Structure formats: structure tokens, C-alpha cells
Amino acid sequence: MSNLTFPEVFKIVQAHEPAIGSALLNTSDIVSCKNFKKLWAVLSMDYVDDVDLVVTWNESTDVAGGTTSAITTACPIWYNIDTATADLLTRATDGITFTINTGAGKNQLWIMEWDPAKFTAGYDCFQIRMSGAGASIVDVLYIAEPRYQSDVNVAAITD
């Protein structure tokens, strides 16, 4: 039996509540990764229409997004393009973006992994950004592994 308790070991942040994809464009929370070893962005899409969603990620100098630029370091990506019939994730080619292709008309799950050690000097904050998405419902969840274990997880939406 494991002593792992998910919410006590990992920091969980709702980066954007479920919303119509076109309303999500570039409005996911920016989180500080100063205290994280690793961060995963989990995107869940409930299919409504055939408008693809292009996902990118940015780095910022603060959670207010004062100075922001696109991350150009390729990151690991996983996906499941039909969550109704399978629960397995497929490893995609590492990238700096991915497109959720809605042509199949299926609900999908996508995960990208960010290593905070790869930030450009002076940057320590992360944000998922999107374009497209039509009327499909999308939500974004950040899950982070803290750098140091503690009884209280540190805040991520403040600097």
C-alpha cells in the first residue's frame, strides 16, 4: 500500500474552468513555477463542433503577465483522441505546440509536461494559450510537483 496522497503531494490549479473554447483564448491562469520541479498542463475537450484548437505555452516574468514570450523548448506531449472508448494515452512527438484536431468528432484529453529548469533566464511563470476551438468545451488543469515537500502546498497564482 502506498502512502501517496495525491492532493497532499501535488499542487493542483484550475487554470481555466470548463468553457466554450473560443472564450478560453489566452485566458488560462499564469502560474509561478518557482517552487516546482515539474508542471503538467491537462486539457480536456468535450466535442461540440469541428473547429480545431491550437495550443501553445508562454513564459512570463510574473503572474500578471508583465513580460511574456512563447516557450520555444520542445516539451513531452501525450493524448487520447477518443476518451469514450479508451483510457490509454499515446506519446506524441515533443513539441512547442499541438493541435487538437476535432475532425473525428470525439472527446479528447491532452497533457503537456514542462520542466521549470528550462525557463529563459528571468522567467519563472507559465501559461497555456489557445486559438481556435469553436464551440467545443475545454478546461485546463495544472498539476505540479513541488520542489520541496511540506505540510502546506505553496501558492502558484501569486509571485
Per residue in 81-137, pLDDT tens?
999 999 999 999 999 999 988 888 899 999 999 999 999 999 999 999 988 767 888
The burial class, CB within 10 Å (0-12 / 13-18 / 19+), for 125 is buried
Render pLDDT for 25-43 as a digit per residue (tens, 0 to 9). Answer: 677 899 999 999 999 999 9
What the chain holds in terms of domains, given with CATH numbers, is 17-146 (2.60.120)
**Burial per residue of 39-57, b for 16 or more beta-carbon CB atoms within 10 angstroms, e otherwise:** bbbbbbbebbeeeebebbb
Instruction: At 84, give phi and psi (nearest 5°).
Output: -75, -25
CA atoms of 101 and 112, how far apart (whole Å): 16
Is the pLDDT at 66 greater than 70, yes or no? yes
> 9 falls in which pLDDT band (50, 70, 90)?
confident
Rounded to the nearest 5 degrees, what angle is found at the Cα of 31, between the Cα atoms of 47 and 71? 75
The reported pLDDT for the residue numbered 6 is 77
> 149 falls in which pLDDT band (50, 70, 90)?
confident
With H, G, I as helix, E, B as strand and everything else as coil, classify residue 1.
coil
CA atoms of 142 and 127, how far apart (whole Å): 9
The reported pLDDT for the residue numbered 151 is 60
Q: What is the mean pLDDT of residues 38-54?
A: 90
Q: What is the mean pLDDT of residues 60-76?
A: 94
CA atoms of 113 and 86, how far apart (whole Å): 21
The reported pLDDT for the residue numbered 131 is 82
The reported pLDDT for the residue numbered 153 is 66
CA atoms of 124 and 85, how far apart (whole Å): 38
Render pLDDT for 73-92 as a digit per residue (tens, 0 to 9). Answer: 999 999 999 999 999 999 99
The reported pLDDT for the residue numbered 152 is 63
**Burial per residue of 78-106, b for 16 or more beta-carbon CB atoms within 10 angstroms, e otherwise:** bbbbeeeeeeeeeeeeeeebbebebeeeb
The reported pLDDT for the residue numbered 37 is 94
